[in-house]
Chain A
Amino acid sequence: MRKYLLDLTVSSNEKLSGNYILMKLTSEEKLPEMLPGQFAEVRVDGSPSTFLRRPISIHYVDRNTNELWFLIQLVGDGTRKLADLKKGDLLNVMLPLGNSFSMPTTEQKELLLVGGGVGTAPMLMLGSVLKNLGFEPTFLLGARSKKDLLQLDKFEAYGNVFVTTEDATYGEKGFVTNHSILKQKKFDKIYTCGPTPMMKAVAAYASKNGIECEVSLENTMACGIGACLCCVTDTKEGHKCVCSDGPVFNIKDLKWQI
Protein backbone atom coordinates (compact mmCIF):
# COMPACT_ATOMS: atom_id res chain seq x y z
CA MET A 1 0.00 0.00 0.00
CA ARG A 2 1.43 3.33 -1.03
CA LYS A 3 2.55 5.61 1.79
CA TYR A 4 2.27 9.38 1.70
CA LEU A 5 3.93 12.34 3.38
CA LEU A 6 1.23 14.99 3.73
CA ASP A 7 0.57 18.31 5.40
CA LEU A 8 -2.96 17.97 6.74
CA THR A 9 -5.04 20.83 8.11
CA VAL A 10 -6.51 20.67 11.60
CA SER A 11 -10.26 21.14 11.24
CA SER A 12 -10.93 20.76 14.96
CA ASN A 13 -9.02 19.75 18.06
CA GLU A 14 -11.37 18.96 20.89
CA LYS A 15 -10.49 18.29 24.52
CA LEU A 16 -12.40 15.23 25.69
CA SER A 17 -13.01 14.09 29.24
CA GLY A 18 -10.02 12.78 31.13
CA ASN A 19 -6.72 13.42 29.46
CA TYR A 20 -7.63 12.94 25.82
CA ILE A 21 -8.11 14.93 22.64
CA LEU A 22 -10.00 14.20 19.45
CA MET A 23 -8.16 15.79 16.55
CA LYS A 24 -9.84 16.01 13.16
CA LEU A 25 -7.75 16.65 10.08
CA THR A 26 -8.60 17.37 6.51
CA SER A 27 -6.92 18.17 3.23
CA GLU A 28 -7.70 19.91 -0.04
CA GLU A 29 -6.51 16.75 -1.76
CA LYS A 30 -8.46 13.54 -1.35
CA LEU A 31 -7.12 11.59 1.63
CA PRO A 32 -5.42 8.34 0.66
CA GLU A 33 -7.01 4.99 1.29
CA MET A 34 -6.34 3.66 4.81
CA LEU A 35 -7.15 0.36 6.47
CA PRO A 36 -8.32 -0.32 10.03
CA GLY A 37 -5.37 -0.91 12.36
CA GLN A 38 -2.99 1.28 10.39
CA PHE A 39 -1.29 4.29 11.91
CA ALA A 40 0.41 7.57 11.08
CA GLU A 41 3.78 8.97 12.09
CA VAL A 42 3.14 12.54 13.13
CA ARG A 43 5.74 15.31 13.14
CA VAL A 44 5.21 17.37 16.25
CA ASP A 45 7.47 20.43 16.09
CA GLY A 46 11.05 19.16 16.07
CA SER A 47 11.88 20.70 19.44
CA PRO A 48 14.54 18.91 21.52
CA SER A 49 11.93 16.87 23.39
CA THR A 50 9.92 16.01 20.28
CA PHE A 51 12.77 15.11 17.96
CA LEU A 52 11.22 11.98 16.47
CA ARG A 53 7.80 11.52 14.95
CA ARG A 54 5.01 10.12 17.10
CA PRO A 55 3.06 7.05 16.01
CA ILE A 56 -0.67 7.69 16.31
CA SER A 57 -3.25 5.10 15.35
CA ILE A 58 -5.96 5.96 12.88
CA HIS A 59 -9.16 6.38 14.85
CA TYR A 60 -11.54 6.95 11.99
CA VAL A 61 -11.50 8.02 8.36
CA ASP A 62 -14.36 9.34 6.29
CA ARG A 63 -13.26 9.70 2.72
CA ASN A 64 -16.58 11.33 1.77
CA THR A 65 -16.11 14.24 4.14
CA ASN A 66 -12.34 13.83 3.62
CA GLU A 67 -11.68 13.72 7.35
CA LEU A 68 -9.17 11.78 9.43
CA TRP A 69 -9.58 11.47 13.21
CA PHE A 70 -6.91 10.86 15.84
CA LEU A 71 -7.86 9.99 19.41
CA ILE A 72 -4.86 10.94 21.51
CA GLN A 73 -4.01 10.46 25.16
CA LEU A 74 -1.83 13.25 26.52
CA VAL A 75 1.16 11.50 28.04
CA GLY A 76 4.28 13.51 27.20
CA ASP A 77 5.61 16.63 25.54
CA GLY A 78 4.71 15.40 22.06
CA THR A 79 1.07 14.68 22.72
CA ARG A 80 0.68 17.81 24.85
CA LYS A 81 1.99 19.90 21.95
CA LEU A 82 -0.45 18.17 19.63
CA ALA A 83 -3.21 19.26 22.00
CA ASP A 84 -2.16 22.89 21.46
CA LEU A 85 -2.82 22.77 17.71
CA LYS A 86 -5.66 25.00 16.59
CA LYS A 87 -8.10 24.88 13.71
CA GLY A 88 -6.25 25.78 10.52
CA ASP A 89 -2.82 24.62 11.76
CA LEU A 90 -0.92 22.17 9.59
CA LEU A 91 0.26 18.77 10.79
CA ASN A 92 2.83 16.78 8.81
CA VAL A 93 1.95 13.09 8.72
CA MET A 94 3.35 9.95 7.11
CA LEU A 95 0.56 7.51 6.41
CA PRO A 96 -0.91 4.97 6.13
CA LEU A 97 1.68 2.83 7.90
CA GLY A 98 1.72 -0.78 9.02
CA ASN A 99 -0.50 -3.72 8.20
CA SER A 100 -4.15 -3.88 9.22
CA PHE A 101 -6.67 -6.05 11.00
CA SER A 102 -7.64 -8.90 8.71
CA MET A 103 -11.23 -9.17 7.61
CA PRO A 104 -13.28 -12.10 8.95
CA THR A 105 -13.61 -15.30 6.97
CA THR A 106 -17.07 -16.36 5.79
CA GLU A 107 -17.44 -18.64 8.85
CA GLN A 108 -16.67 -15.82 11.27
CA LYS A 109 -19.95 -14.04 11.96
CA GLU A 110 -19.78 -12.89 15.59
CA LEU A 111 -16.98 -10.39 16.02
CA LEU A 112 -15.76 -8.96 19.30
CA LEU A 113 -13.73 -5.73 19.29
CA VAL A 114 -12.04 -5.16 22.64
CA GLY A 115 -10.47 -1.79 23.41
CA GLY A 116 -8.83 -0.53 26.57
CA GLY A 117 -8.10 3.11 27.33
CA VAL A 118 -6.76 4.98 24.32
CA GLY A 119 -6.39 1.58 22.67
CA THR A 120 -10.03 1.89 21.75
CA ALA A 121 -8.92 4.33 19.01
CA PRO A 122 -8.46 1.89 16.09
CA MET A 123 -11.58 -0.04 17.06
CA LEU A 124 -13.85 2.73 15.77
CA MET A 125 -12.49 2.54 12.25
CA LEU A 126 -12.48 -1.24 12.38
CA GLY A 127 -16.10 -1.23 13.58
CA SER A 128 -17.15 1.15 10.80
CA VAL A 129 -15.50 -1.00 8.14
CA LEU A 130 -17.04 -4.21 9.53
CA LYS A 131 -20.47 -2.57 9.72
CA ASN A 132 -20.15 -1.50 6.09
CA LEU A 133 -19.36 -5.11 5.18
CA GLY A 134 -22.65 -6.18 6.81
CA PHE A 135 -21.38 -7.35 10.19
CA GLU A 136 -22.89 -6.36 13.52
CA PRO A 137 -19.75 -6.11 15.65
CA THR A 138 -19.78 -6.19 19.44
CA PHE A 139 -17.61 -3.64 21.19
CA LEU A 140 -16.23 -4.33 24.64
CA LEU A 141 -14.53 -1.24 25.98
CA GLY A 142 -12.61 -1.03 29.22
CA ALA A 143 -11.46 2.00 31.17
CA ARG A 144 -10.24 2.95 34.62
CA SER A 145 -13.19 5.23 35.18
CA LYS A 146 -16.16 6.80 33.38
CA LYS A 147 -14.12 9.86 32.41
CA ASP A 148 -11.75 7.62 30.44
CA LEU A 149 -14.54 6.23 28.29
CA LEU A 150 -14.34 7.93 24.94
CA GLN A 151 -16.55 8.23 21.91
CA LEU A 152 -19.20 5.82 23.22
CA ASP A 153 -21.90 7.36 21.03
CA LYS A 154 -19.69 6.91 17.96
CA PHE A 155 -19.11 3.24 18.72
CA GLU A 156 -22.87 2.73 19.23
CA ALA A 157 -23.43 3.68 15.58
CA TYR A 158 -21.62 0.53 14.46
CA GLY A 159 -22.66 -2.17 16.92
CA ASN A 160 -23.56 -3.12 20.48
CA VAL A 161 -21.33 -1.55 23.10
CA PHE A 162 -20.46 -3.15 26.45
CA VAL A 163 -18.35 -1.41 29.03
CA THR A 164 -16.29 -2.20 32.10
CA THR A 165 -14.73 0.31 34.45
CA GLU A 166 -12.29 -0.57 37.20
CA ASP A 167 -14.06 1.73 39.68
CA ALA A 168 -17.62 0.77 38.66
CA THR A 169 -18.49 4.32 37.58
CA TYR A 170 -19.97 2.98 34.31
CA GLY A 171 -20.94 -0.42 32.96
CA GLU A 172 -19.80 -3.53 34.80
CA LYS A 173 -17.06 -3.33 37.40
CA GLY A 174 -13.69 -4.88 36.66
CA PHE A 175 -11.59 -5.65 33.60
CA VAL A 176 -12.89 -6.37 30.11
CA THR A 177 -12.24 -10.07 30.60
CA ASN A 178 -14.65 -10.05 33.59
CA HIS A 179 -17.60 -8.80 31.51
CA SER A 180 -20.69 -11.03 31.46
CA ILE A 181 -21.06 -10.73 27.67
CA LEU A 182 -18.16 -13.17 27.35
CA LYS A 183 -20.29 -15.81 29.11
CA GLN A 184 -23.50 -14.95 27.26
CA LYS A 185 -22.27 -14.92 23.69
CA LYS A 186 -19.95 -17.07 21.62
CA PHE A 187 -17.61 -15.11 19.39
CA ASP A 188 -15.85 -16.30 16.25
CA LYS A 189 -13.08 -13.73 16.13
CA ILE A 190 -11.65 -11.19 18.56
CA TYR A 191 -9.76 -8.02 17.74
CA THR A 192 -8.06 -6.11 20.53
CA CYS A 193 -5.98 -3.05 21.24
CA GLY A 194 -5.05 -1.56 24.60
CA PRO A 195 -2.59 -1.97 27.45
CA THR A 196 -0.44 -5.10 27.10
CA PRO A 197 -1.77 -6.82 30.28
CA MET A 198 -5.32 -6.36 28.96
CA MET A 199 -4.43 -7.71 25.52
CA LYS A 200 -2.69 -10.69 27.09
CA ALA A 201 -5.78 -11.42 29.20
CA VAL A 202 -7.97 -11.16 26.09
CA ALA A 203 -5.54 -13.35 24.16
CA ALA A 204 -5.63 -15.93 26.97
CA TYR A 205 -9.44 -15.94 26.87
CA ALA A 206 -9.41 -16.33 23.09
CA SER A 207 -6.81 -19.05 23.19
CA LYS A 208 -8.65 -21.02 25.90
CA ASN A 209 -11.88 -20.84 23.92
CA GLY A 210 -10.34 -21.58 20.54
CA ILE A 211 -11.19 -18.17 19.10
CA GLU A 212 -8.97 -16.49 16.52
CA CYS A 213 -7.51 -13.30 17.98
CA GLU A 214 -5.63 -10.35 16.53
CA VAL A 215 -3.86 -7.82 18.71
CA SER A 216 -2.56 -4.39 17.80
CA LEU A 217 0.77 -3.76 19.51
CA GLU A 218 2.35 -0.51 20.51
CA ASN A 219 6.07 0.14 20.76
CA THR A 220 8.41 3.09 20.78
CA MET A 221 9.32 3.68 17.17
CA ALA A 222 11.76 5.74 15.19
CA CYS A 223 11.20 5.37 11.43
CA GLY A 224 7.72 3.81 11.28
CA ILE A 225 8.49 2.07 7.98
CA GLY A 226 10.65 -0.94 8.86
CA ALA A 227 14.00 0.70 8.19
CA CYS A 228 15.56 1.15 11.63
CA LEU A 229 14.49 -2.13 13.30
CA CYS A 230 14.02 -0.39 16.68
CA CYS A 231 10.43 -1.43 17.44
CA VAL A 232 10.70 -5.20 17.24
CA THR A 233 8.58 -7.74 19.05
CA ASP A 234 9.32 -11.43 19.59
CA THR A 235 7.48 -13.72 17.23
CA LYS A 236 7.78 -17.40 16.44
CA GLU A 237 9.71 -16.32 13.34
CA GLY A 238 12.10 -14.12 15.32
CA HIS A 239 12.13 -10.36 15.77
CA LYS A 240 9.52 -8.56 13.68
CA CYS A 241 8.98 -4.82 13.36
CA VAL A 242 5.80 -3.61 15.02
CA CYS A 243 5.70 -0.69 12.56
CA SER A 244 5.90 -2.60 9.29
CA ASP A 245 5.22 -6.29 10.02
CA GLY A 246 2.53 -5.17 12.49
CA PRO A 247 1.12 -3.38 14.38
CA VAL A 248 -1.50 -6.12 14.09
CA PHE A 249 -0.38 -9.66 14.93
CA ASN A 250 -2.31 -12.87 15.22
CA ILE A 251 -1.70 -14.21 18.74
CA LYS A 252 -0.69 -17.59 17.31
CA ASP A 253 2.39 -15.91 15.81
CA LEU A 254 3.52 -14.19 19.02
CA LYS A 255 5.62 -15.73 21.78
CA TRP A 256 3.29 -14.60 24.52
CA GLN A 257 3.08 -16.77 27.63
CA ILE A 258 -0.70 -16.97 27.90
Chain B
Amino acid sequence: MADLTTNIGKLVMKNPVMTASGTFGYGEEFSDFIDISKIGGIIVKGTTIKHREGNPYPRMAETPSGMLNAVGLQNKGVDYFIEHIYPRIKDTDTNILVNVSGSTVADYVATAEKIAALDHIPAIELNISCPNVKEGGMAFGTSCASAESVVSAVRKAYGKTLIVKLSPNVTNIAEIALAVEAAGADSVSLINTIMGMAINAEKRRPVLSTVTGGLSGACVKPIALRMVWQVAKAVKIPVVGLGGIMNATDAVEFLLAGASAIEIGTANFIDPTITIKVAEGINDYLERHGFKSVKDIIGQLETA
Protein backbone atom coordinates (compact mmCIF):
# COMPACT_ATOMS: atom_id res chain seq x y z
CA MET B 1 0.00 0.00 0.00
CA ALA B 2 1.45 3.35 -1.04
CA ASP B 3 1.18 6.42 1.19
CA LEU B 4 -1.84 8.30 -0.08
CA THR B 5 -1.80 11.11 2.48
CA THR B 6 -1.68 14.61 1.13
CA ASN B 7 -1.85 18.11 2.61
CA ILE B 8 -3.80 21.19 1.67
CA GLY B 9 -2.55 23.99 3.92
CA LYS B 10 -2.96 22.67 7.46
CA LEU B 11 -5.49 20.12 6.27
CA VAL B 12 -4.20 16.53 6.30
CA MET B 13 -6.08 14.08 4.14
CA LYS B 14 -5.88 10.27 4.23
CA ASN B 15 -6.05 10.25 0.45
CA PRO B 16 -6.28 12.92 -2.26
CA VAL B 17 -9.92 12.23 -3.14
CA MET B 18 -12.58 14.75 -2.18
CA THR B 19 -16.15 15.18 -3.33
CA ALA B 20 -17.10 18.28 -5.28
CA SER B 21 -19.66 20.52 -3.64
CA GLY B 22 -23.20 20.05 -4.87
CA THR B 23 -22.60 16.56 -6.17
CA PHE B 24 -22.46 14.61 -2.93
CA GLY B 25 -25.16 16.22 -0.78
CA TYR B 26 -23.99 16.02 2.81
CA GLY B 27 -22.38 12.62 2.30
CA GLU B 28 -25.20 10.77 4.02
CA GLU B 29 -26.97 10.25 0.70
CA PHE B 30 -24.15 7.91 -0.35
CA SER B 31 -23.65 5.94 2.83
CA ASP B 32 -25.76 2.98 1.63
CA PHE B 33 -23.23 2.46 -1.13
CA ILE B 34 -19.86 3.18 0.48
CA ASP B 35 -18.11 3.87 3.75
CA ILE B 36 -17.86 7.63 3.27
CA SER B 37 -15.15 7.89 5.96
CA LYS B 38 -12.76 6.31 3.42
CA ILE B 39 -12.95 9.45 1.28
CA GLY B 40 -10.16 11.98 1.85
CA GLY B 41 -12.58 14.88 2.22
CA ILE B 42 -16.25 15.58 1.76
CA ILE B 43 -17.14 19.08 0.57
CA VAL B 44 -20.79 19.59 1.32
CA LYS B 45 -23.37 21.56 -0.61
CA GLY B 46 -22.82 25.28 -1.23
CA THR B 47 -23.99 27.14 1.86
CA THR B 48 -25.14 30.75 2.02
CA ILE B 49 -25.97 33.11 4.86
CA LYS B 50 -29.71 32.82 4.18
CA HIS B 51 -32.00 30.15 2.81
CA ARG B 52 -32.06 29.97 -1.00
CA GLU B 53 -34.75 28.25 -3.04
CA GLY B 54 -32.50 28.04 -6.09
CA ASN B 55 -33.64 28.41 -9.68
CA PRO B 56 -36.92 27.21 -11.17
CA TYR B 57 -37.18 23.87 -12.91
CA PRO B 58 -35.81 22.73 -15.42
CA ARG B 59 -32.38 22.88 -13.88
CA MET B 60 -30.59 20.12 -15.70
CA ALA B 61 -29.82 19.10 -19.27
CA GLU B 62 -27.80 16.12 -20.34
CA THR B 63 -25.24 17.00 -23.01
CA PRO B 64 -22.72 14.83 -24.87
CA SER B 65 -20.55 13.22 -22.15
CA GLY B 66 -21.70 15.79 -19.66
CA MET B 67 -24.49 17.80 -18.16
CA LEU B 68 -25.56 21.37 -17.60
CA ASN B 69 -26.97 22.40 -14.28
CA ALA B 70 -28.61 25.56 -13.04
CA VAL B 71 -29.46 24.60 -9.48
CA GLY B 72 -28.58 28.07 -8.20
CA LEU B 73 -27.25 27.22 -4.75
CA GLN B 74 -30.46 25.85 -3.26
CA ASN B 75 -29.75 25.42 0.45
CA LYS B 76 -31.41 26.14 3.76
CA GLY B 77 -28.82 28.63 4.95
CA VAL B 78 -25.87 28.38 7.29
CA ASP B 79 -27.90 28.48 10.51
CA TYR B 80 -29.98 25.50 9.41
CA PHE B 81 -26.78 23.69 8.46
CA ILE B 82 -25.26 24.34 11.89
CA GLU B 83 -28.39 23.36 13.78
CA HIS B 84 -29.67 20.39 11.81
CA ILE B 85 -27.04 18.96 9.50
CA TYR B 86 -23.72 19.53 11.22
CA PRO B 87 -24.67 17.48 14.32
CA ARG B 88 -25.47 14.49 12.07
CA ILE B 89 -22.26 14.57 10.04
CA LYS B 90 -19.65 16.09 12.36
CA ASP B 91 -18.36 12.77 13.66
CA THR B 92 -17.75 11.24 10.24
CA ASP B 93 -14.16 10.01 10.37
CA THR B 94 -12.88 12.17 7.53
CA ASN B 95 -12.54 15.85 6.70
CA ILE B 96 -15.86 17.59 6.26
CA LEU B 97 -15.52 20.88 4.40
CA VAL B 98 -18.20 23.45 3.74
CA ASN B 99 -18.48 25.24 0.43
CA VAL B 100 -19.28 28.87 1.28
CA SER B 101 -21.13 31.04 -1.23
CA GLY B 102 -22.57 34.52 -1.13
CA SER B 103 -23.94 37.54 -2.95
CA THR B 104 -21.88 40.17 -1.12
CA VAL B 105 -18.52 40.27 0.63
CA ALA B 106 -20.38 40.71 3.91
CA ASP B 107 -22.39 37.53 3.25
CA TYR B 108 -19.25 35.51 2.57
CA VAL B 109 -17.59 36.82 5.73
CA ALA B 110 -20.63 36.23 7.92
CA THR B 111 -21.05 32.66 6.67
CA ALA B 112 -17.34 31.90 7.03
CA GLU B 113 -17.36 33.25 10.59
CA LYS B 114 -20.22 30.97 11.56
CA ILE B 115 -18.50 27.94 9.99
CA ALA B 116 -15.22 28.86 11.72
CA ALA B 117 -16.89 28.20 15.06
CA LEU B 118 -17.55 24.55 14.16
CA ASP B 119 -14.79 22.34 15.62
CA HIS B 120 -15.27 19.52 13.14
CA ILE B 121 -15.04 21.62 9.99
CA PRO B 122 -11.30 22.06 9.37
CA ALA B 123 -11.58 24.01 6.13
CA ILE B 124 -13.89 25.88 3.82
CA GLU B 125 -14.00 26.09 0.08
CA LEU B 126 -14.91 29.65 -0.88
CA ASN B 127 -17.10 29.55 -3.95
CA ILE B 128 -16.39 32.66 -6.03
CA SER B 129 -17.32 30.85 -9.19
CA CYS B 130 -20.96 29.74 -9.22
CA PRO B 131 -22.31 30.60 -12.70
CA ASN B 132 -25.94 30.07 -11.68
CA VAL B 133 -26.74 32.97 -9.39
CA LYS B 134 -27.73 36.45 -10.49
CA GLU B 135 -25.74 38.35 -7.88
CA GLY B 136 -22.29 37.58 -6.55
CA GLY B 137 -21.07 34.08 -7.15
CA MET B 138 -19.01 34.04 -10.30
CA ALA B 139 -18.88 37.84 -10.45
CA PHE B 140 -16.34 37.70 -7.63
CA GLY B 141 -14.21 35.15 -9.40
CA THR B 142 -13.88 36.75 -12.80
CA SER B 143 -11.74 39.75 -11.96
CA CYS B 144 -8.53 39.89 -9.95
CA ALA B 145 -9.67 42.89 -7.93
CA SER B 146 -13.00 41.44 -6.82
CA ALA B 147 -11.47 38.01 -6.13
CA GLU B 148 -8.79 39.63 -4.01
CA SER B 149 -11.29 41.75 -2.07
CA VAL B 150 -13.55 38.86 -1.09
CA VAL B 151 -10.68 36.50 -0.26
CA SER B 152 -8.89 39.17 1.84
CA ALA B 153 -12.06 39.85 3.79
CA VAL B 154 -12.75 36.17 4.45
CA ARG B 155 -9.09 35.54 5.27
CA LYS B 156 -9.30 38.09 8.11
CA ALA B 157 -12.38 36.36 9.51
CA TYR B 158 -11.39 32.73 8.97
CA GLY B 159 -8.24 31.22 10.47
CA LYS B 160 -8.52 27.62 9.32
CA THR B 161 -7.67 26.24 5.89
CA LEU B 162 -9.14 28.44 3.18
CA ILE B 163 -9.52 26.94 -0.27
CA VAL B 164 -10.85 29.24 -3.00
CA LYS B 165 -12.79 27.67 -5.86
CA LEU B 166 -12.01 29.34 -9.17
CA SER B 167 -14.14 29.91 -12.22
CA PRO B 168 -12.93 28.72 -15.62
CA ASN B 169 -15.03 31.46 -17.25
CA VAL B 170 -12.10 33.88 -17.40
CA THR B 171 -9.44 34.89 -19.87
CA ASN B 172 -6.48 34.05 -17.64
CA ILE B 173 -7.18 31.79 -14.69
CA ALA B 174 -3.57 31.90 -13.48
CA GLU B 175 -3.85 35.66 -12.87
CA ILE B 176 -6.94 35.14 -10.74
CA ALA B 177 -5.17 32.34 -8.85
CA LEU B 178 -2.22 34.64 -8.15
CA ALA B 179 -4.56 37.36 -6.87
CA VAL B 180 -6.28 34.86 -4.59
CA GLU B 181 -2.92 33.59 -3.34
CA ALA B 182 -1.79 37.15 -2.62
CA ALA B 183 -5.01 37.72 -0.67
CA GLY B 184 -4.07 34.92 1.69
CA ALA B 185 -5.78 31.77 0.41
CA ASP B 186 -4.20 28.49 1.53
CA SER B 187 -5.21 26.72 -1.67
CA VAL B 188 -7.19 27.08 -4.86
CA SER B 189 -9.56 24.50 -6.31
CA LEU B 190 -10.48 24.43 -9.97
CA ILE B 191 -12.46 24.27 -12.08
CA ASN B 192 -16.04 25.14 -11.26
CA THR B 193 -18.46 24.54 -14.13
CA ILE B 194 -18.07 26.12 -17.53
CA MET B 195 -20.91 28.36 -18.71
CA GLY B 196 -22.91 26.65 -21.41
CA MET B 197 -26.40 26.31 -22.77
CA ALA B 198 -28.74 23.84 -24.41
CA ILE B 199 -31.58 24.50 -26.83
CA ASN B 200 -34.63 22.43 -27.65
CA ALA B 201 -34.92 23.07 -31.38
CA GLU B 202 -38.42 21.53 -31.66
CA LYS B 203 -39.77 23.92 -29.06
CA ARG B 204 -37.43 26.78 -30.05
CA ARG B 205 -36.76 27.24 -26.35
CA PRO B 206 -33.79 26.93 -24.02
CA VAL B 207 -33.73 23.68 -22.06
CA LEU B 208 -32.83 25.36 -18.76
CA SER B 209 -35.11 27.84 -17.00
CA THR B 210 -32.12 30.16 -16.67
CA VAL B 211 -31.13 29.76 -20.35
CA THR B 212 -27.47 29.25 -19.43
CA GLY B 213 -26.01 26.81 -16.91
CA GLY B 214 -22.79 25.20 -15.76
CA LEU B 215 -21.27 22.40 -17.79
CA SER B 216 -19.63 19.48 -16.01
CA GLY B 217 -18.74 15.86 -16.66
CA ALA B 218 -16.22 14.01 -18.77
CA CYS B 219 -16.47 16.57 -21.58
CA VAL B 220 -14.82 19.33 -19.50
CA LYS B 221 -11.76 17.33 -18.44
CA PRO B 222 -9.26 18.55 -21.06
CA ILE B 223 -10.07 22.17 -20.20
CA ALA B 224 -9.85 21.52 -16.47
CA LEU B 225 -6.57 19.67 -16.83
CA ARG B 226 -5.04 22.51 -18.84
CA MET B 227 -6.15 25.09 -16.28
CA VAL B 228 -4.87 23.07 -13.32
CA TRP B 229 -1.52 22.75 -15.06
CA GLN B 230 -1.35 26.50 -15.75
CA VAL B 231 -2.36 27.46 -12.21
CA ALA B 232 -0.07 24.93 -10.53
CA LYS B 233 2.88 26.41 -12.40
CA ALA B 234 1.89 29.95 -11.39
CA VAL B 235 1.16 29.66 -7.66
CA LYS B 236 3.04 28.29 -4.67
CA ILE B 237 -0.01 27.22 -2.69
CA PRO B 238 -1.44 23.72 -3.22
CA VAL B 239 -3.96 23.24 -6.00
CA VAL B 240 -7.05 21.04 -5.84
CA GLY B 241 -7.98 19.75 -9.28
CA LEU B 242 -11.43 18.92 -10.52
CA GLY B 243 -13.45 18.84 -13.68
CA GLY B 244 -14.62 15.69 -15.43
CA ILE B 245 -12.73 13.15 -13.34
CA MET B 246 -14.46 9.85 -14.08
CA ASN B 247 -11.85 7.29 -12.99
CA ALA B 248 -8.47 6.82 -11.30
CA THR B 249 -6.50 7.49 -14.48
CA ASP B 250 -8.18 10.87 -14.81
CA ALA B 251 -7.31 11.61 -11.18
CA VAL B 252 -3.66 10.66 -11.70
CA GLU B 253 -3.52 13.02 -14.70
CA PHE B 254 -4.62 15.92 -12.48
CA LEU B 255 -2.01 14.99 -9.85
CA LEU B 256 0.69 14.88 -12.53
CA ALA B 257 -0.49 18.28 -13.78
CA GLY B 258 0.18 19.68 -10.32
CA ALA B 259 -2.88 19.07 -8.17
CA SER B 260 -2.18 18.04 -4.57
CA ALA B 261 -5.70 16.64 -4.27
CA ILE B 262 -8.65 16.12 -6.56
CA GLU B 263 -12.41 16.39 -6.35
CA ILE B 264 -14.95 14.09 -7.94
CA GLY B 265 -18.22 15.67 -8.99
CA THR B 266 -20.56 14.57 -11.73
CA ALA B 267 -19.13 11.03 -11.71
CA ASN B 268 -20.81 10.52 -8.32
CA PHE B 269 -24.17 10.56 -10.12
CA ILE B 270 -23.12 7.76 -12.44
CA ASP B 271 -21.33 5.56 -9.93
CA PRO B 272 -22.01 6.31 -6.26
CA THR B 273 -18.95 4.23 -5.32
CA ILE B 274 -16.54 6.08 -7.63
CA THR B 275 -14.71 7.98 -4.86
CA ILE B 276 -13.52 4.75 -3.26
CA LYS B 277 -12.61 3.23 -6.62
CA VAL B 278 -10.54 6.28 -7.53
CA ALA B 279 -8.68 6.24 -4.19
CA GLU B 280 -7.90 2.54 -4.70
CA GLY B 281 -6.96 3.13 -8.32
CA ILE B 282 -4.49 5.87 -7.39
CA ASN B 283 -2.85 3.41 -5.01
CA ASP B 284 -2.70 0.78 -7.77
CA TYR B 285 -1.05 3.31 -10.08
CA LEU B 286 1.55 4.25 -7.47
CA GLU B 287 2.38 0.61 -6.75
CA ARG B 288 2.54 -0.28 -10.43
CA HIS B 289 5.03 2.51 -11.05
CA GLY B 290 7.03 1.95 -7.86
CA PHE B 291 6.11 5.21 -6.11
CA LYS B 292 5.98 5.11 -2.31
CA SER B 293 3.80 8.18 -1.90
CA VAL B 294 1.23 10.11 -3.85
CA LYS B 295 3.41 13.18 -3.18
CA ASP B 296 5.97 11.62 -5.52
CA ILE B 297 3.76 12.22 -8.54
CA ILE B 298 2.25 15.63 -7.77
CA GLY B 299 3.35 18.00 -10.53
CA GLN B 300 5.68 15.40 -12.02
CA LEU B 301 4.48 15.84 -15.58
CA GLU B 302 7.47 15.57 -17.89
CA THR B 303 7.16 18.11 -20.68
CA ALA B 304 10.76 18.24 -21.88
Identify the closest chain A residue to B61 (Cβ). Answer: A220
Binding site secondary structure of chain A? loop
Chain B interface size range: 35 or more
Q: Does B57 contact A (CB under 8 A)?
A: yes
Q: Given the interface contacts A51-B217, A222-B60, does A4 sit within 8 Å of B32 by beta carbon?
A: yes
Within 8 A of B (CB), among A196-235: 219-234
Smallest CB separation, A146 vs chain B (Å): 27
Could you say which residues of chain B place their CB within 8 Å of the CB of A219? 57-58
Contact of B269 with A232 in the complex, beta carbons under 8 Å: no
Q: Given the interface contacts A48-B64, A219-B57, A220-B60, does A229 sit within 8 Å of B270 by beta carbon?
A: no
Within 8 Å by CB of B69, from A5, A48, A230, A238, lies A230
Q: Does B295 contact A (CB under 8 A)?
A: no
Q: A212 CA to B11 CA in the complex, in Å?
A: 53
Contact of B268 with A227 in the complex, beta carbons under 8 Å: yes
Contact of A228 with B62 in the complex, beta carbons under 8 Å: no
Q: Does B67 contact A (CB under 8 A)?
A: yes
Contact of A5 with B62 in the complex, beta carbons under 8 Å: no
Within 8 Å by CB of A43, from B22, B56, B63, B270, lies B270
Interface stretch among B23-31, B100-108, B162-170, B228-236? B23-31
Within 8 A of B (CB), among A1-33: 2-5
Contact of A5 with B273 in the complex, beta carbons under 8 Å: yes
Chain A interface size range: 20 to 34
Contact of A3 with B32 in the complex, beta carbons under 8 Å: yes
Q: A3 CA to B24 CA in the complex, in Å?
A: 15
Most chain-B Cβ atoms within 10 A of its Cβ — which of A3, A221, A222? A222
Q: A210 CA to B110 CA in the complex, in Å?
A: 48
Q: A3 CA to B219 CA in the complex, in Å?
A: 29
Most chain-A Cβ atoms within 10 A of its Cβ — which of B22, B24, B60, B74? B60
Contact of A222 with B69 in the complex, beta carbons under 8 Å: yes
Could you say which residues of chain A place their CB within 8 Å of the CB of B217? 51
Contact of B67 with A52 in the complex, beta carbons under 8 Å: yes
Within 8 Å by CB of A232, from B24, B29, B74, lies B74
Q: Does A131 contact B (CB under 8 A)?
A: no
Smallest CB separation, A123 vs chain B (Å): 25
Smallest CB separation, B131 vs chain A (Å): 15
Q: Does A154 contact B (CB under 8 A)?
A: no
Could you say which residues of chain A place their CB within 8 Å of the CB of B54? 229, 232, 239
Contact of B272 with A222 in the complex, beta carbons under 8 Å: no
Could you say which residues of chain B place their CB within 8 Å of the CB of A227? 23-25, 29-30, 268-269
Q: A77 CA to B47 CA in the complex, in Å?
A: 36
List the 3 shortest-distance A-B pairs measured between CB atoms, nearest first. Answer: A230-B60, A227-B25, A48-B64
Q: Spell out B's residues near A (CB within 8 Å).
A: 22-25, 29-30, 32-33, 45, 53-54, 56-67, 69, 71, 74, 217-219, 266, 268-273
User: 10 A–B contact pairs at CB < 8 A?
Assistant: A43-B271, A48-B64, A51-B218, A52-B67, A220-B60, A224-B269, A226-B25, A227-B23, A228-B71, A231-B59
Other A-B contacts than A222-B67, A227-B25, 10 sampled, CB-CB below 8 A, are A5-B272, A5-B273, A51-B63, A51-B65, A53-B270, A225-B272, A228-B60, A230-B59, A231-B60, A232-B59
